[in-house]
Structure 1
Amino acid sequence: MTSLRNYLIIFLSLCAAIANAQDQSDHSTYKKRVLETTEVDFLTSYYSQDGDNAAVSGGIGTEKLTDATGTFVVSIPLNDDDVLTIDAGVSAYTSASSSNINPFDGGRRADPFVASSGASSGDVWVNLTGSYSHSSDDRNNIVSGKLSVSSEYDYFSFGFGGSYSRLFNEKNTEISVNANVYLDSWNTIYPFELRAFGNNGIGFFRPTEITGNVNYNPNFTEFDKTNRNSYSIGLGFSQILHKNLQGSLALDFVKQQGLLSTPFQRVYFIDVADSFIEDFQLADDVERLPDSRFKVAMGGRLNWFVNELITVRTFYRYYFDDWGINSHTASLEVPIKISDKFTLYPSYRFYNQSAADYFGGYETHLSTQEFYTSDYDLSEYKANQLGFGVSYTDIFTQMHIWEFGLKSIDLKFYKYDRDTTFSSYIITGGFKFVMD
């Protein structure tokens, strides 16, 4: 962790040094700065979900979860051409589902539909990202790079990447390419009852309380890999088709290798007798998935400026991977400008996907299979999302906090429902400040 923090400091120092050297170059010809002044964005959200197909308890049980986030994004113009951006965020959640990693450490009777109150019922995720972008004098070439680190109780990630954009045809056409690498590591945490049967197990903790199959003896082995690496490359093309019409296309490839299973997600086999303590069924194994995955996504956007009051934004994406999932996403957003300062944002999104080859619900897998999961994120389902937002913009920044003027406020609400038992909603807020 310390070495990675040092790398981030070195990276940002080099960016500042390069920017300083460029700032000393000849600026005899006037050019508009890429970013006129320092901008600060504060982003926050509150998320809540519920359902009855928790992967932690093998496809059954509560999926209740709440999450609150706060993020600061500071964009600093280093000179006419270069911008340094620092993105720092914290997310804190409580989860009835993950609390049942150990369902026996709470004060109530163990049950997959009841949250335990133990240590795994909540966590904090933190992230820090630094990025640097440089624009050419004619603003037709943009190069950027970034470094990021994030961490939570069972997971650590280090990432780096970069992008290049080229504008031509009097800036009516843009092509871009971006690439990112994420090097992640797990602190493998297994369902509580399986830990005694792992590499260093010394026997089950409450054998006299088992009901059903009292000879509980799962054939469980711990994962020999605890890292996951992800490599992505994306290609983009954008074109102004008409003064009121803009379209874009995107093609993305992602390759993942390493531990792609979640170590604390249980699986129950149909050919193994059930064992219980209280009302909680003891795991037969954890989710087992291949150690590689290749993903492809292709999509497009079409934005139509109808008039000064209404814009229509459309989006479609097709996705497939070598785990057998195919999906379609379509969305529509219609910003409606109701005054000089206020805009409304009604939206709708539709999504459907096929099931992964390795998915099966509660007690549908056989113990003889090589790969298996009961995570309903990998199941076949359809989903609908309705959204509504409002935006306030004041280009004159009449409201101030210290030396910063408030430029805009964005508030949005989204309601999401699957055709399984899963549903969720999220409330987001964004506040943009600029230095006077």
Structure 2
Amino acid sequence: MKTLILIVTLFFSIVIIAQQEQPDNTKTYKKRVLESTEVDFLMSYYTQEGDNAAVTGGIGTEELTDVTPTIVVAIPLNDDDVLTIDGSVSAYTSASSSNVDPFDGNAPADPFVASSGASRNDVLVTFLANYSHSSDDRNTIWSVNGSVANEYDYFSLGFGGSYTRLFNEKNTEVSIKANVFLDEWNAIYPTELRDFSTFIKFDDESRNSYSLGLGFSQILSKKLQGSLSLDLVHQEGLLSTPFQRVQFADIADVVVDQFTFGDDIERLPDTRFKIALGGRLHYYINEVIALRTFYRYYTDDWGVNSHTASIEIPIKITDQFTIYPSYRFYTQTAADYFNEFNQHLSTQRFYTSDYDLSDFDANQYGFGIGYTDIFTKFHLWKFGLKNIDFRVRHYERNSGLRSILLSGGLSFVIE
């Protein structure tokens, strides 16, 4: 708590000092970075199903639903400075996490059936504040941010900043950003392992993440824009999920009802280093159609290598309406420590049956529609409607996992 108070105090002290140091520009006109306060009301609904739940060792139901309302408020503090506040609540119901204790319901324990216990529901609350400052010529932008997230078994505190510089009459842009996340688990273990004298619990339940991102963007012609990005992430601490089971092939199974007890929990190295290199090309074919492409290569020291490629084609139907068909392909190799249900050996040091770390291919098909009211003609009290956006995405893996994400938002200008 003392650390949280210190960081929050430091964050707002920077904001106050930055405002006090602004030069007197009353004699020279300049366009404000943000003319009026803007408010975004966002909502998403996510649902998935599959049969490879990590909580039960790589088999069992992966059914999950999540509803996330979000409010984002961007406030112009003066001509150059903007404070953005982002708050969200993620309420989910998970059939797999309910089986942390499969015996707390009224039905026989079964990895393919959700238990009716309290662990099947949870709420994640997230709060983020970002302060950004633009120079008089709008060629330099820097920002600082802080965030807090909390749910029943997890707490996260984050802070960071960014610096962006524009050159060549704003045709060239370079940026650097850095973030730190200090997380703390309240480790919840599978019910059958909690009282075993031979079961080894984690001594340190903290996890720290440090990220550095570099970006370069260039307008190549009147119709073509490209960008490159490099992201580096180092993590240390508890990188395993404490309630995910592993069953060993060289130890006899213990089965109650239809449920196979875990021989241990997932155990992974306490460090991980990730590298992601990406590129984008945006081509404006004409006033009606544009082409947005993206590619990213990812690798880490756990043995995971992946490729992501996507394309989106905004099509302007009218001056106000645009549709967004899209497609995304993803493929990755398995982590060195992954194996399927009941395939690991007790002599191994690290092991997981989490299919997020398996070898798989995935396809995502998307469609969206957006409405833009340039002159904010429609009003609700003092709120002038700026735009409406709705999107649907269907995702499927060759392992059998399928999901649908519905998301939408309303953006208003406070006049």
TM-score by length of structure 1 reads 0.93
The residue that corresponds to 2:39 in the other structure is 40
User: Deviation at 1:160?
Assistant: 0.4
Contact 2:312 2:327 in 1 (8 A): yes
The residue that corresponds to 1:70 in the other structure is 69
Q: Distance in 2 between matches of 1:300 and 1:268?
A: 41
AA partner of residue 244 (structure 2)? Q
The residue that corresponds to 1:52 in the other structure is 51
Q: Which runs of 5+ in 2 are unaligned?
A: none
Q: Is 2:344 the partner of 1:365?
A: yes
Alignment map for 1:222-301 (pairs within 5 Å): 222-301=201-280
Q: Distance in 2 between matches of 1:197 and 1:249?
A: 51
1:357 aligns to what SS in structure 2? coil
Contact 2:75 2:83 in 1 (8 A): yes
Alignment map for 1:123-202 (pairs within 5 Å): 123-197=122-196
Alignment map for 1:287-436 (pairs within 5 Å): 287-436=266-415
Cα-Cα RMSD: 1.2
AA partner of residue 157 (structure 2)? F
Q: Distance in 2 between matches of 1:77 and 1:364?
A: 57
User: Deviation at 1:25?
Assistant: 2.1
The aligned length equals: 415
1:13 aligns to what SS in structure 2? helix
2:220 aligns to what SS in structure 1? strand
Q: Distance in 1 between matches of 2:236 and 2:199?
A: 22
The match for 2:200 among 221, 225, 228 is 221
Q: Which runs of 5+ in 1 are unaligned?
A: 199-218
AA partner of residue 259 (structure 1)? L
User: Deviation at 1:224?
Assistant: 1.3
1:104 aligns to what SS in structure 2? coil
1:303-341 C-alpha deviation (Å, 9 max, x unpaired): 000000000000000000000000000000000000010
AA partner of residue 162 (structure 2)? S
1:189-244 C-alpha deviation (Å, 9 max, x unpaired): 0001100115xxxxxxxxxxxxxxxxxxxx42101110000000000000000010
Contact 1:274 1:282 in 2 (8 A): yes
Q: Distance in 2 between matches of 1:292 and 1:8?
A: 25
Q: Distance in 2 between matches of 1:292 and 1:223?
A: 15
Runs of 4+ in structure 1 off by over 6 angstroms are: none
Contact 1:31 1:137 in 2 (8 A): yes
Calculate percent identity across the aligned residue pairs.
65
User: Deviation at 1:27?
Assistant: 2.4
Q: Distance in 1 between matches of 2:111 and 2:279?
A: 41
2:111 aligns to what SS in structure 1? coil
Q: Distance in 2 between matches of 1:76 and 1:144?
A: 14
Contact 2:37 2:73 in 1 (8 A): yes
The residue that corresponds to 1:206 in the other structure is none
User: Deviation at 1:146?
Assistant: 0.3
TM-score by length of structure 2 reads 0.98
Q: Distance in 2 between matches of 1:77 and 1:4?
A: 28
The residue that corresponds to 1:28 in the other structure is 27
Q: Distance in 2 between matches of 1:125 and 1:13?
A: 25
1:197 aligns to what SS in structure 2? coil
1:355-403 C-alpha deviation (Å, 9 max, x unpaired): 0000000011000000000000000000000000000000111222221
Contact 2:325 2:367 in 1 (8 A): yes
